[in-house]
Amino acid sequence: MNTPNSLIMRRALDLATLGRGHVSPNPMVGCVIVHDLGEGATGRILGEGWHQQYGGPHAEVNAVRAVLPADEALLPQSTAYVTLEPCSHWGKTPPCADLLIQKQLGRVVCCNDDPNPLVAGKGFEKLRDAGIEVITGLLTDEGRLLNARFFTAIEQQRPYVILKWAETADGFMGGPGATPVPISGPLAGRLVHRWRSEEDAILVGTTTARHDNPRLNTRLWPGRSPVRVVLDRTLALLTTLHLFDGTQPTLVYHRSGLDVPVASENVSYAAADSLPDLLTDLHERRIQSVLVEGGAQVLGTFLDAGLWDEIRQFRSMQTLGQGVAAPTARGTLVSREQVGTDELWTWRRA
């Protein structure tokens, strides 16, 4: 059931999503400040905000700044609905908990505790020590889903991994001999470029790099292009491919013990002898999410290792009859929707 409290928190969660693709490695956070009328009744919204840019003001700061000067006297009788525990430490900005204390907020309601060891309950402790009522656990699951990348990075010490592919109605994702074949439609293609703008990195293997010669940028959608990650175990790829054009940061992972080319502008090399090694290195580079776009062997490796969190599977109406077989999706099917002429199936690990 949607209580007034949960409706307001859903508004804060919606605001937080506006920071997607702009705040990593920080979490997405939204905040709504509401004047309370007492006895469970909810008054009007005084201010709201979200974390808009990494290194910029946090959600609580933007929400407080949105409060009109004439309404500041109402803050002691108001509640701040925040999707994540207010920070208690100095980073690129001052502690948000200190700001809420300074403004004498009457109450703070949160979805989730912050797992970051620099915070981890200290924000709530500060607020309670200052006499501010703190309520936690409202829409906890929704809050964790919103910041799945952030929680995965801290709790599992690896990036959040999204596997994406398009397959025909008869289960193929490429032609014979890995020949590239257009499968999904233009609307699906534009959506994929939006996804690229929202994630830290995008990953392909040697076969996809060689046969498709992809750019892996966001030319069909406004926003930043992700870091390109290329699996080239034996360093066999030609540097004339688009992936080596220097237009965006590119990481080439190879097996250890090889003679490595001299790094060029925006292209660097790193050794990784296993998938866990690769994900650990990406984590140490503060990359919180990876969109894996193939090919079939690379996707299968992630699936078999259990090192994935989400699958985005386009299904086309066309058939090929033969070619490169698509992986078998697994996990829990959480949504199925029409995207132009294609169906998009989304799966998550149980």
Q: Which residues carry a binding-site annotation?
A: 58, 87, 96, 166, 196, 208, 212, 216, 219, 293
CA distances from 119 to 63, 97, 122, 206 (A): 20, 10, 5, 41
Burial zone of 56 (CB within 10 Å; 0-12 exposed, 13-18 middle, 19+ buried): middle
Tokens for 88, please give them: 């208690």
337 counts as catalytic: no
CA-nearest of 205, 179, 211 to 323 is: 179
Tokens for 173, please give them: 């994702």
- Residues annotated within the binding site for substrate are 196, 216, 219, 293
Tokens for 344, please give them: 């998009």
- Contacts of 335-338 with C-beta under 8 Å, sequence gap 24+, read none
Active-site residue, from 48, 60, 167, 199: 60
- Contacts of 138-143 with C-beta under 8 Å, sequence gap 24+, read 138/5, 138/6, 138/9, 138/81, 138/109, 138/110, 138/111, 139/6, 139/9, 139/10, 139/13, 139/111, 140/111, 140/112, 142/10, 142/13, 142/111, 143/13, 143/83, 143/84, 143/110, 143/111, 143/112
- Residues annotated within the binding site for Zn(2+) are 58, 87, 96
Question: Strand 78-84's sheet: what is its strand order?
Answer: 41-50, 30-38, 78-84, 107-112, 133-135
Residues 182 and 175: beta-carbon distance below 8 Å: no
- Residues annotated within the binding site for NADP(+) are 166, 208, 212
Tokens for 230, please give them: 């290329």
Residues with a known catalytic role: 60
